[in-house]
A and B are shown apart, each in its own frame.
Chain A
């Protein structure tokens, strides 16, 4: 366990391209497996099995349930998440507050839901259906949205809080997505943190991004920026963080750069946690 962190500790999103660097990195508490990248009928990838054998914990992460969509989550997708959670002895499954398809068409990425009481009710029903089908608790993640719905009735943090309370779900907080939405839509990121039910925090995502033409893009292909680390520190000053992980999906850096990013993440938690203990 890393200083300042809870049971999961410091982690990373497992990707085949990073398998070697992850295997060599000592002190990792957990890896996150993206369900859609694993054969739903096949065995776990050998490097993942080895990590589990070493005591590294696993969290299963879905990207295609479309919990924010108009249709209830599909049983076969839930079954695939459940099977992977069983195979990897995962303590937790996570998904997004987003929709990824509509009208039979795929978006290929996570899109925001309108923040109305009507769509909240649909989301609550979808999340409860998913929770009922999964063998482990479900954590819900905030997304970075480049486009905002005109029919918003409530703020993002308020909407997410209502959803978590009404479904009794855990929170996967992506601090880089909080930064992205704060930067692009003029939110106050600290007020956002203060609105959320942080006692529901399951773990935290940190990912890199880049600013182009005045818009921040959450790419997971660039280094983690200072603003995300500052938010992570602010979060650690408010609550004990059970686990925090780096998301890197593209332009994979050499192992030493990756290690430096993980060190910076741990350092931000240590500094924030010290403020919590000794304000």
Chain B
């Protein structure tokens, strides 16, 4: 195939994808209702995948989850290449930056970052070694380490 063919396909696919992610309202030729349905489906699948990968965070946010995850999607219209674990990590970090991350979510973030590293190739890999600390107010503390032969060890105060 000539590069022209690949470039044409790339352009058309990028146009469709940006419309599905709410970034392009000028998509020609497509059935607008189908595009709206597909866009809503993509967003719904993304949110459900975050809930599945981050159950403690979703539960801790409770009724605020919908509004907060909506804000995350607005700020990051395209999901990351490495899936819902990484998507939820960005969500949790965004909440932490606004001091809106509940303690249970903080612990889940700590657990995920202790165990996983996210590669530039869009794949996650297990860490062999790791150490993480979280402190909350009113005073709460969690320390976790991970090492071969030891597994994961946690200290939480209050226990």
The residues of A with any CB-CB pair to B shorter than 8 Å are 36, 39-42, 64, 69-71, 74, 76-77, 80, 99, 101-103, 105-109, 111, 113-114, 118-119, 121-122, 125, 145-151, 215, 217, 221, 250
Interface string of B113-134 (1 = CB under 8 A from A): 0000000011111100000000
Pairwise interchain contact B9-A103, C-beta atoms closer than 8 A: no
Pairwise interchain contact B125-A41, C-beta atoms closer than 8 A: yes
Give the Cβ gap from A80 to chain B, nearest Cβ, in Å.
7
7 contacts between A and B (CB under 8 A): A39-B124, A80-B123, A101-B17, A103-B10, A103-B13, A150-B29, A150-B30
Cα–Cα distance between A250 and B81 once the two chains are bound (Å): 20
Of B40-48, B60-68, B138-146, B147-155, the stretch lying at the interface with chain A is B40-48
Query: In this assembly, does B35 line the interface, its C-beta being within 8 Å of a C-beta of chain A?
Result: yes
Of A71, A99, A114, A146, the residue contacting B6 (CB under 8 A) is A71
Query: In this assembly, does B71 line the interface, its C-beta being within 8 Å of a C-beta of chain A?
Result: no
Cα–Cα distance between A148 and B31 once the two chains are bound (Å): 8
Total A-B Cβ pairs within 8 A: 114
Query: In this assembly, does B89 line the interface, its C-beta being within 8 Å of a C-beta of chain A?
Result: no
Give the Cβ gap from B13 to chain A, nearest Cβ, in Å.
4
Known pairs A36-B83, A39-B125, A106-B80; A250 contacts B48 (CB<8 A): yes
For residue A121, which residues in chain B have a CB less than 8 angstroms away from its CB? 1, 5
Give the Cβ gap from B90 to chain A, nearest Cβ, in Å.
13
Cα–Cα distance between A41 and B5 once the two chains are bound (Å): 36
By CB atoms of chain A within 10 A, which of B10, B29, B30, B48 has the most? B10
Of A103, A122, A148, A250, the residue contacting B52 (CB under 8 A) is A250
Pairwise interchain contact A107-B1, C-beta atoms closer than 8 A: no
Pairwise interchain contact A102-B37, C-beta atoms closer than 8 A: no
Cα–Cα distance between A151 and B17 once the two chains are bound (Å): 16
Other contacts beyond A102-B16, A103-B10, A121-B1: 19, CB < 8 A: A36-B123, A41-B125, A42-B125, A42-B126, A80-B123, A107-B20, A108-B45, A109-B46, A119-B9, A122-B6, A146-B34, A146-B37, A147-B20, A147-B31, A147-B35, A148-B31, A149-B29, A151-B29, A221-B48
For residue A41, which residues in chain B have a CB less than 8 angstroms away from its CB? 125
Pairwise interchain contact B21-A114, C-beta atoms closer than 8 A: no
Give the Cβ gap from A271 to chain B, nearest Cβ, in Å.
32
For residue B38, which residues in chain A have a CB less than 8 angstroms away from its CB? 111, 145-147
Cα–Cα distance between A39 and B126 once the two chains are bound (Å): 7
Query: In this assembly, does B102 line the interface, its C-beta being within 8 Å of a C-beta of chain A?
Result: no
Known pairs A146-B38, A147-B37; A102 contacts B14 (CB<8 A): yes
Cα–Cα distance between A106 and B14 once the two chains are bound (Å): 10
Pairwise interchain contact A146-B17, C-beta atoms closer than 8 A: no
Q: Quick one: closest B residue to A107, CB to CB?
A: B17
Known pairs A69-B13, A146-B34, A150-B29; A109 contacts B5 (CB<8 A): no
For residue B123, which residues in chain A have a CB less than 8 angstroms away from its CB? 36, 39-40, 80
Pairwise interchain contact B10-A102, C-beta atoms closer than 8 A: yes
Query: In this assembly, does B137 line the interface, its C-beta being within 8 Å of a C-beta of chain A?
Result: no
For residue B34, which residues in chain A have a CB less than 8 angstroms away from its CB? 146-148
